[in-house]
Structure 1
């Protein structure tokens, strides 16, 4: 057959294969759900278990953990263990058992417990690939290998292996020079019969990893730098070839050494290191031959430090992760893969379970809140990092100095990584909004669009049109939830800007707006029965007083007590500061506990690489620990906790705040 005819035939097969699968949705979960790893010992709490590099992990049907690694000097070891109730691994031996020479091992287990291991080794001026086959001993204390050494099956480096339900074996590797290959084989009489004598080239890159759903192949790899790609393919009917949907990979993030695995409900978990010593995981769903990644802010994704991660997921959702800490010390994390509905209607659910909750006023409910709500994104219409006048007035000396390093300002400005719709769905009910019209400095002049209102925090964030629309859609679908929109600051607003915003808010929410009298005296049940769901607060000290009537638009100063200390960067004294905050709370006014440590904009701090995310990693656990002891306490003025406002709010934090409500009302 000519090359032209082969190409035509391949395109026809690819078209047919793609058409058969283009409408399939694998692992789809309902809108608002979150899948995450619930680590047994928390994040960044890995347990040391050995020394070495390039670990690989697998779990048998019986729950036996099998780990293999190389010792940094070309010797391969394995370890066996089982999971204890507290999440620790009880290893069968104190140290690893030597089994071969080589590098970068990968391990897989068949349903009947057969162990397949692949690795690379340098021999006769070539990188060669070897496989070994073994069985667990009857007491699960050792592996009984079929042969004394590995069987050479190809040349290359960094192999990975996966076993399909029908017994097919998929092996992927790179050739050490930036080309990726796969091989397909069958396990026959303690050996692998390969379909191809050599590997089949499919893309450029390094360090491949695969997950398999039926006959669908999901592959991830890096480009040898710090870019990650995935590819989707389908196993042919005869099981001897893979037809790829894309000719090249689809870029999805920066990082290296990715690994991917499949959960019991067909969610994808991808792990990698970022090249700078931090480990991340992402959750994805395969929809129409593309991976739809769960928003990275849904659950904190940087779970530990180190490199070369490997993961295994059991049928019951148990996950075991292993990695090198960057200094040839090996650590593991264990936990469960969990999926939650995201608490999109947690107020309604709490009311159904505990009817007395409906007798509370909003002031007495613990509400998750986000600080600088709109900073999950930055301007995507003009310059992607347009400086905003809350910190840098266009054309000023500060503006001109900051403009040259505006990309570096983003980590100093961003405080959230869920958009407003996602924040609502995971349970946020208070939104801190800093708003002003869009201003551009061009040719020595400041141009202002008075009705293009946007959030800001050093850089312009999400627009108010989008935020109002998303809140409206959410409230109309969740009729027993209440949302507070707190316009804490206005910047460079004109009368036209205020009129546009007020008309937008009052026309969109209309009869759903809660008056000051209702806010202070009406119970949740009364508000819901009256179809009242939205509290709008305007600050009074920035030209907005003329638009406050306390019926539709409420005065912040008459409705709320806000806590903030600009010198609160000392984490060791933060709990004491929260005590001071609580003592300012009053009985009838909403109370915002600002659990944030946001320094003033400082070019020096920006150049040093300070990020608000790093500050939140320190601060949020302190706030939650403080709440454990103080969630139902009152301060000197008779008021208790109410709105808990944090940077980088996520599901697990919200879950704890909601649980404080349960403890209070059950």
Structure 2
């Protein structure tokens, strides 16, 4: 799928930055008409969780037991160590070449408006702020395509969904790609239509809007293991079993902590326990 250059230290501008930020535009011509589902697209897990607010309420994605414990300020500090799964902002991820984003969203208890936030245990930034950051990048890089996978929704009624979808329309406008036959979608076709955003919406609400792709069009099987060996076997198996046509496919190359994993590495956090080992 072409060369993706290695990231460079923060604050440094070199030709590598340009290569990462425009890798789709830089692909050789013979790949421009290959179905997008046949290209390997770099992605990130819990893409928004580079920042979470330990001063906000615990998210509705957590159990009541965790919510009760979180009344103790120290608990939220520890939760933050296990909720943050990225160290790059949306813009930095895009500049590094990431094009698939795994997104979980929620309303915030007690809010009188319909604002929606990213969430992973604790609340992150407003979804609107993230969408605007992505749109700014896409405007500057008109041949790059992104996949936004909204796969978990918490504390959201129909009014919240409508608000969120309208914000998507407001942010991306004509950049949105309507759902269509997966095999018919190529870089060349998207470039000609000036479409840059595919939004997958894992909720029946997608039926009301032509630019929302059903979640079943991008299955993301989950290994749910702390074992590298089991993870690799799972990835190889699910990749070989993926549907040959009709959908994209996400390979989640991630390790998932269990309760005992968290207990053992409570203070160290996710990064030190499962990443740096």
Q: Tell whether the structures are fold-level matches, with TM greater than 0.5.
A: yes
Q: 1:210-289 to 2 correspondence within 5 Å?
A: none
SS at match of 1:465: helix
* Structure 2 alignment gaps of length 5 or more: 1-5
Query: Taking structure 1 as reference, are residues 546 and 578 closer, same or farther at Cα in structure 2, changes over 3 Å only?
Result: closer
- Map 1:120-519; keep pairs closer than 5 Å: 340-341=16-17, 343-350=20-27, 354-379=28-53, 384=55, 386-392=57-63, 396-404=64-72, 405-439=75-109, 447-517=110-180, 519=182
Size of the aligned set, in residue pairs, is 267
RMSD: 2.5
TM-score (norm 2): 0.87
- Cα deviation for residue 611 of structure 1 reads 2.7
Structure 1: gaps of 5 or more residues: 1-32, 37-282, 286-293, 295-337, 440-446, 619-666
Q: CA deviation at 1:476?
A: 1.3
Distance 1:435 1:606 in 2: 29
Higher share of residues assigned strand: 1
TM-aligned CA deviation for residue 600 of structure 1:
4.9
Quote the offset at 1:514 in angstroms. 1.6
SS at match of 2:237: helix
Larger deviation, residues 547-556 vs 463-472: 547-556
Question: Is the 1:454–1:463 Cα contact (8 Å) retained in structure 2?
Answer: yes
Q: Residues 601, 448 of structure 1: CA spacing in aligned structure 2 closer, same or farther, 3 A cutoff? A: farther
Cα offset, 1:526, TM superposition: 1.0
Question: Structure 1 pair 448/370, CA: closer, same or farther in 2 (3 Å)?
Answer: same
- C-alpha deviations, 1:412-461, integer Å up to 9, x for none? 1110011111111111100000000122xxxxxxx234522111111111
Which residue does the alignment assign to 1:35? 8
SS at structure 2 position matched to 1:528: helix
CA deviation map 1:247-268 (0-9, x unaligned)? xxxxxxxxxxxxxxxxxxxxxx
Q: Is the 8 A contact 2:231 2:255 kept in 1?
A: no
User: Residue 257 of structure 2 corresponds to which residue in structure 1?
Assistant: 599
State which structure, 1 or 2, has the greater radius of gyration over its C-alpha atoms: 1
- Aligned equivalents of 1:611 and 1:407: distance in 2? 10
Matched, 1:577 2:234: yes
**TM-aligned CA distance change 1:595 to 1:284, over 3 Å:** same
CA contact (8 A) 1:409 1:606 kept: no
The aligned counterpart of 2:275 is 616
Give the structure 2 partner of residue 661 of structure 1.
none
Summarize the Cα distance change of 1:548–1:612 in structure 2 as closer, same or farther, 3 Å threshold: farther
Distance, in Å, in 2 between the alignment partners of 1:346 and 1:495 is 38
1:356 Cα shift?
0.8
CA separation in 1, counterparts of 2:232 and 2:206? Answer: 38
**Within 1, Cα distance between the matches of 2:112 and 2:263?**
31
Q: Residues of 2 paired with 1:425 and 1:450: CA distance?
A: 33
Q: Name the CA shift for 1:494/1:525 in 2 (closer, same or farther; >3 Å).
A: same
CA contact (8 A) 1:35 1:339 kept: no
- Relative to structure 1, the CA distance from residue 608 to residue 509 in structure 2 (aligned partners, 3 Å threshold; closer, same or farther) is closer
**Greater helix percent: which structure?**
2
1:608 CA drift (Å)? 3.2
Deviations 1:179-228 (A, max 9, x none): xxxxxxxxxxxxxxxxxxxxxxxxxxxxxxxxxxxxxxxxxxxxxxxxxx
Q: Distance in 2 between matches of 1:496 and 1:484?
A: 24
Aligned to 1:263: none
How is 1:619-630 mapped onto 2 (pairs within 5 angstroms)?
none
CA offsets, 1:467-506, max 9 Å, x none?
Answer: 1101111111111110011001000102221111011112
SS at match of 1:498: helix
* 8 Å contact from structure 1 (residues 435, 453) kept in 2: yes
C-alpha deviation, 1:341, in angstroms: 1.2
Q: 1:602 to 1:552 in 2, by over 3 A?
A: farther
**Displacement of 1:349:** 1.2
Q: Contact conserved, 2:161 with 2:205, CA < 8 A, in 1? A: no
**Aligned residues of 2:42 and 2:97 also touching (Cα < 8 A):** yes
The equivalent of 1:548 in structure 2 is: 207
Structure 1 residue 583, shift from structure 2 partner: 2.6
